Amino acid sequence: MTRQEKADQVKNFLDDRFGLVDCFLKHKTDQEFLIAVMLSAQSNDKSVNKVTPILFDKYKDLAALSKANVDDVISIIKPVGLAKTKASHIIEASKIIVDKYDGQIPKDREVLMTLPGVGFKTSGVVLGELYNFPYLPVDTHVERVSKFLGLVDKSLRPEQIELKLEKLFKNSCLINTHRQLIMLGRTILTAKNPKLDELPFSWIKKS
């Protein structure tokens, strides 16, 4: 069985099981979403969704956040972890976007990645979610799931996996497929005790 055939079966299962999946990070504006994604690095959506309403209630936009006191921001975002580094990054990134891009999120991945705290995955999530760019960002869930299902080689890095998955799922809404794969990783193909009996794929050994 080819990887494309496996991917087609996986996509059918994802559509049947999860359908259209809502964005995991709560936000009201593009600016809020960028900051939320930056805060989610090495954290979880639940923690981020708890702190962002507090952060955005005090700092209404990037212009306000660019002038924020770093210690105050650290105290607000502490639950997400790496608070000192993230506070510095989101304040500095806010300054750059306000000063250089008139408060608009750059719609170029390479440009976006020049911002402090914005890497390959973060840029893909932001552009995919906000502007429907054809990216399928790879987090720990997507990496684990895609390797387990045999869609990509186990030696590949996240950036390489993304390119492979974008080709395999090119006929789908890639950002929703990204969310579906995360849901698969959170509910069925969990890191510990995966529920293999719930998978209908003939190439997966159940025992």
Are residues 122 and 61 both part of a single domain? yes
What is the domain-level CATH number for residue 141? 1.10.1670.10
CA–CA dist 51, 69 (Å, integer): 16
What distances in angstroms separate CA 45 from CA 49, 122, 153, one per listed residue?
6, 14, 28
CA–CA dist 57, 68 (Å, integer): 13
Are residues 122 and 158 both part of a single domain? no
Are residues 159 and 190 both part of a single domain? yes
Containing domain of residue 155, as a range? 3-22+135-198
| Catalytic residue status for 8 | no
CB 126 within 8 A of CB 75: no
Mean pLDDT of the chain: 97
Question: Which listed residue (8, 15, 30, 139) is catalytic?
Answer: 139
Are residues 34 and 89 both part of a single domain? yes
As for how many domains the chain has, the answer is 2
Q: What is the pLDDT of residues 56-95, one digit of tens each?
A: 999 999 999 999 999 999 999 999 999 999 999 999 999 9
- pLDDT in the model for residue 90: 98
* Residue where a domain terminates, one of 113, 131, 149: 131
CA–CA dist 191, 144 (Å, integer): 8
Are residues 10 and 95 both part of a single domain? no
Q: Is the pLDDT of residue 116 over 70?
A: yes
Question: Which listed residue (30, 121, 147, 206) is catalytic?
Answer: 121
Q: What is the pLDDT of residues 135-165, one digit of tens each?
A: 999 999 999 999 999 999 999 999 999 999 9
